[in-house]
């Protein structure tokens, strides 16, 4: 089917203005008529010519020796991944290859895995204080329905005190503070907690002041500003 036949469809559609009648007379479907009508509107009669259906890239395309050498050279010198290799071949060398084709070349030469240097850790820095009792981290966690775990950890010695209570109230917090004072082998000078309401109760704050223990809650997290 040539461009002259398609031009006849377009002329008939321009004359009748009814796509259904044109499709029945010419034996074509509506999508076919719309396709060639859009091409005619955009490019004129030149758009009615038959175009090649060859794909832009072919995974089964034969790669020549010089193209393989170019792929391997970029892999070694630039340390590029497969997608970056494809983009570089198109941008710098005008060579269009499918990702599967590039991958087959790399597998054939044992270069399909990009070896990157492993980052060396400089070591971990423990979050600690120089004097035992200078700061005790205190937290609560729900471990089961109607069951809460209180935890107190000294930042210097890592000494721990644990307690389990049925609720997370001011009375339970006071009971845990008494346990911490009794079990810690050194005096507690400072307590750091999250923003839980059980630590901000008046009774808890009064107990800490009576024992000369400083209360230092964590700073509230500032939400990220949306742009």
Instruction: Please state, as a whole number, how many other Cβ atoms lie within 10 Å of the Cβ of residue 28.
Output: 18
Query: Is residue 106 a contact partner of residue 161, using CB atoms and an 8 Å limit?
Result: no
Host H or E run for residue 9 = helix 3-16
pLDDT surpasses 80 at 61? no
Instruction: Point out which residues pair with 137 in neighbouring strands.
Output: 153, 192
pLDDT of residue 212: 93
d(CA 50, CA 39): 11
Q: Which structure tokens are listed for 8? A: 């006849």
Q: What distance in Å separates the CA atoms of residue 124 and residue 102, rounded to the nearest whole number? A: 41
Interval 8-41: pLDDT, tens: 888 888 888 888 888 888 888 888 888 888 888 8
pLDDT of 26 reads 85
Residue 124 above 70 pLDDT? no
CB 206 within 8 Å of CB 177: no
For the purposes of burial, counting CB atoms within 10 Å of the CB of 12, is it exposed (0-12), middle (13-18) or buried (19 or more)? middle
Average pLDDT of the segment spanning 51-55 = 70
User: Which overall architecture, per CATH, does domain 136-216 show?
Assistant: 2-Layer Sandwich (3.30)
- Which residue ranges make up each domain of the chain? 3-48, 65-108, 136-216
Q: What is the pTM of this model?
A: 0.45
For 107-115, what is the mean pLDDT?
A: 82
More confident residue, 105 or 128: 105
Residue 98 has pLDDT above 70, yes or no: yes
118 pLDDT higher than 90: no
Cα 187 to Cα 134: distance, rounded to the nearest angstrom = 8
> How many whole angstroms separate alpha carbon 51 and alpha carbon 43?
13
Token readout for 104 is 């087959």
68-93 pLDDT, tens digit each: 888 888 888 888 888 988 898 888 88
Averaged pLDDT, 35-62? 76
Encode pLDDT of 177-206 as tens digits.
Answer: 999 999 999 999 999 998 888 999 999 999
Is a pLDDT exceeding 50 seen at residue 227?
A: no
> What DSSP element (H or E) covers 32?
helix 30-43
Tens of pLDDT, residues 130-149: 899 999 999 999 999 989 99
């Amino acid at each position: 089917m040539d461009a002259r036949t398609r031009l006849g469809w377009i002329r008939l559609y321009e004359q009748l203005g009814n796509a259904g009648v044109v499709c029945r007379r010419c034996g074509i479907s509506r999508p076919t008529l719309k396709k060639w009508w859009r091409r005619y509107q955009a490019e004129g009669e030149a758009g009615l010519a038959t175009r090649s259906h060859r794909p832009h890239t072919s995974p089964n395309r034969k790669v020549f020796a010089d193209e393989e050498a170019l792929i391997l050279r970029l892999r070694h010198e630039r340390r590029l991944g497969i997608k970056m290799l494809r983009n570089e071949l198109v941008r710098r060398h005008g060579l269009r290859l499918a990702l599967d084709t590039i991958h087959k070349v790399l597998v054939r030469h044992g270069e399909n895995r990009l070896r990157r240097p492993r980052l060396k850790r400089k070591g971990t820095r423990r979050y600690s204080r120089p004097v035992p009792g200078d700061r005790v981290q205190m937290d609560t966690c729900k471990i089961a329905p109607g069951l809460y775990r209180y935890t107190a950890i000294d930042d210097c010695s890592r000494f721990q005190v644990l307690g389990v209570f049925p609720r997370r109230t001011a009375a339970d917090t006071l009971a845990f503070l008494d346990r911490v004072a009794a079990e810690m082998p050194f005096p507690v000078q400072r307590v750091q907690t999250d923003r839980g309401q059980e630590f901000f109760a008046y009774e808890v704050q009064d107990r800490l002041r009576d024992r000369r223990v400083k209360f230092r809650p964590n700073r509230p997290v500032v939400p990220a500003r949306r742009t």
